[in-house]
Structure 1
Amino acid sequence: MKILAIDTSNDVLGVGLVDETKVIGEYITNLKKNHSIRVMPAIERLLADCETKPSDLDKIVVAGGPGSYTGVRIGVTIAKTMAWSLGIPLSGVSSLAVLAAAGRYFPGLVSPLFDARRGLIYTGLYRVKDQEPVIIKEDQNIPAAEWAEILKDTGEPVLFVGNDIELHRETFRTALGERAHFTAVGEFNPRPGELGLLGISRPEENVHTFTPNYIRLVEAEAKWLERQGKVTND
C-alpha cells in the first residue's frame, strides 16, 4: 500500500510517500510562502523522484487541522480532490497528533502546539504508546497561561513540541519548572512521513463531507456572526 501524505496546516509544507514498512520519500520546507502554488509541484516532484505514478497510490492522508485557516483548507481541498479523482480512500489526522508523535520516547505527557496569536495556542495533550499518540485532552484553542496551569495540575513531566514553543517557553517553564521539557530544533517540524504512517490505520472519510478541524472560527467569521447576533461574548 502506497500512501501520499499532505500537510499544509501551518508554515511547514510537507508531502510524504510511505508504505506499511518505510518512509519512501519526503519533501519539507518551513517557509512563510504561499502553499497554494507550491504544494502540487512538491507532490509532482516527490512522486517523480520516487518513480511513483498517481495511479500507484492507494490512499491519501491529510493533516486536517488545527492550524492556519488558509493552510488547512488548502491541504484538505487538494487531498479531497486527489482522493476523489483517483477513486482511493482519504483519511484525516490531527495536525497536533503528527507533532506529538515526536515524543514517542518521552516518559511523560506530550503537548504539541501552534501559536494562535494574542496569547492563545492550539494544543492538546497526548501520551505516546506503541508509536501511537493517544489523546489525554482533546485538541483545543486556549490561552497559553491557562494551559500551563492545567498541565501543572497533572503532576507529570510534559514535553512541548513545535516551531512556536519559543514564543511560550517562559510561560510553561514558570508554571512547571523542571517538569517542562522542550524538543530540540530538529524535531520542531511535523514530519509528513509520520503523518502518512499515522494515517494508515485511520478510518476512511467521506470525501464529499470531510471538513477541516479549525477548532475556532476565523476572526472575520466570528465578527460577522457577532454582528448577526449569533455569537455573544460572555
Structure 2
Amino acid sequence: MLTLAFDTTSKTAAVALLKDKEILYDTIVNTGLNHSEVILPAIDQALRRESLKINDIDLFACTIGPGSFTGVRIGVSTLKGLILATGKPAAGISSLAALALNAGKTSKLICSMMDAGRGQVYAAFYRYDKNEYLEQIGVERAVQPKNVLLDIDEEIDLVGDGAINYADIICKNKKIIIDPKLPKYIKASSVGILGIRKFHRKDLLNTETLTPVYLRPADARPKKALFEN
C-alpha cells in the first residue's frame, strides 16, 4: 500500500511517501513561504522522485490540527481536494500525536508541545501501550507553558518547539531535561505511520467528516470601526 502523508500545521511543511511501513521519501520544507505556495509543489516533487502519479496512491494522511490556523486550513483543503480528485481513502491525524513520535519508542510519558503563540502551547500527553501503539492520555489543550506539567510527577519526554521555546518556564523546579537533538517539528513520515494504523482500524475520513481541529478561537479579529458611537 502506498501512502502519501503531509503536514502544514507548524512552521514547516512536510511531505512523505511510504510503501506499507517502509519510508520511501521524507522531507521537511522550510522556505519561509506560505504553506499554500509550497505544499502542492512538494507533493509533486515527492511523486516525481519515486516515479509515481497521484492515482497510484492508496491512502492519504494529513494532520488536521491543532496548529497554525492558516496552516490547518491549508492542509484540510488540500486533503479534501485529493479525496475528491482520486476517490481514495484518507486519515486525519492529530499534529500533537505525530509530534509525539519524535520521542521514539519509550516507556516514559511523552508530552507534545507546539508553540501556539499568545504565550501558550498546544499540548497533549501520550504513552506507548503493551502492543507498542501510541495512545493519547487525557485531552489536547491550549495552555500556558507553566501549567502544562502541574500534575505530573514522573519521568517524561518533552518534544516540540513549544517545549524548547519555553524550556525555562516548563522545567522550573522540576527534574526534566529537554533533548535539543530531538526533531522539534512534525515529520510527515510520522503522519503516514499513524495514518496506516487508522486505515487498518477503518478509522477514515471523507469530505463530509473531515473538519479541522482548533483548540481556541482564531488569532485574527475584526478591526474596530474608525468611528464608534
Q: Same fold (TM over 0.5)?
A: yes
Aligned identity (percent) is 29
Q: Residues 141-183 of structure 1: CA distance to partner in whole angstroms, max 9, x if unpaired?
A: 11111113133xxx2111110123222101121142x2x2323
1:2 Cα shift?
Answer: 0.5
SS at structure 1 position matched to 2:172 = helix
What is the match of residue 227 of structure 2? none
| Structure 1 position 189 matched with structure 2 position 185 | yes
SS at structure 1 position matched to 2:118 = coil
Q: Which residue type is aligned with residue 213 of structure 1? A: V
Q: Residues 115-134 of structure 1: CA distance to partner in whole angstroms, max 9, x if unpaired?
A: 12232110101112344321
Picking from 172, 175, 192, the partner of 1:174 is 172
| Structure 1 position 201 matched with structure 2 position 202 | no
1:31 Cα shift?
Answer: 4.5
Across the two proteins, how many residue pairs are aligned to each other?
219
CA distance in 2, matches of 1:189, 1:147: 19
What is the match of residue 133 of structure 1? 134
On the 8 A contact 1:90/1:207 being kept in 2, the answer is no
SS at structure 2 position matched to 1:218 = coil
What is the match of residue 73 of structure 1? 73
What is the match of residue 114 of structure 2? 114
SS at structure 2 position matched to 1:183 = coil
CA distance in 1, matches of 2:165, 2:71: 21
Structure 1, unmatched stretches of 5+, are 225-234
CA distance in 2, matches of 1:158, 1:27: 28
CA distance in 2, matches of 1:156, 1:59: 38
Q: Cα distance 1:11–1:55, how it changes in 2: closer, same or farther (>3 A)? A: same
Q: TM-score if structure 2 supplies the norm length? A: 0.89
Q: Residues 33-83 of structure 1: CA distance to partner in whole angstroms, max 9, x if unpaired?
A: 211011101000100001111111011100011000000110111011101
SS at structure 1 position matched to 2:164 = helix
What is the match of residue 162 of structure 2? 164
On the 8 A contact 1:91/1:199 being kept in 2, the answer is yes
